[in-house]
Amino acid sequence: MSNNYILKQIGNIDLVKQLNSAVVYRIIDQNGPISRIQISEQSQLAPASVTKRTRQLLERGLIKEVAQQASTGGRRPISIISEHHIFHSIGVRLGRRDCTLALCALNGKMLAEAHSPLPETGQQETENHLIAAI
């Protein structure tokens, strides 16, 4: 077996883990509060895999545990929701004569928006204006 093949296998495993984490996060974001077993059922991932993915998402602050649900005979499941308040993104629409900046939560909800005219003097001045506006 070549080293290149082994590296591709490791890369593929990491990609699968990232994709599974994205699936788990999306299910939590769209359906939360939701339990790990419900995530497992909806994603068709093994419960152990869901537990690993949610542990990583919890450590990164992307989700949080909020409450215990009613017991169905075993241990009471814990509800999970996505966390939108910690992370933000900035969107920039750059036109010929103006720009629009938007501050968005992780779920895509726009929190603030600002419009401003751009200086018509050159690229460096435009860059400086954008940096100052951000």
Architecture of domain 3-82: Orthogonal Bundle (1.10)
The model's pLDDT over 50-83, given as tens digits with 9 standing for 90+, comes to: 999 999 999 999 999 987 766 666 777 899 999 8
Sorted by where each begins, the domain ranges of the chain are: 3-82, 88-133
pLDDT category at 2 given cuts 50, 70, 90 is: low
Q: What residue type is 102 in one-letter code?
A: A
pLDDT in tens, 96-122: 889 999 999 877 889 999 999 988 788
Amino acid 75: pLDDT: 74
Give the position of tokens 């169905």: 72
CA distance 122 to 38: 55
Q: Which two tokens stand for residue 79?
A: 């509800």
Amino acid at site 119: P
Question: How does 7-42 read in b/e, with b if 16+ C-beta sit within 10 Å?
Answer: eeeeeeeeeeeeebbebbbebbbeebbbbbebbbeb
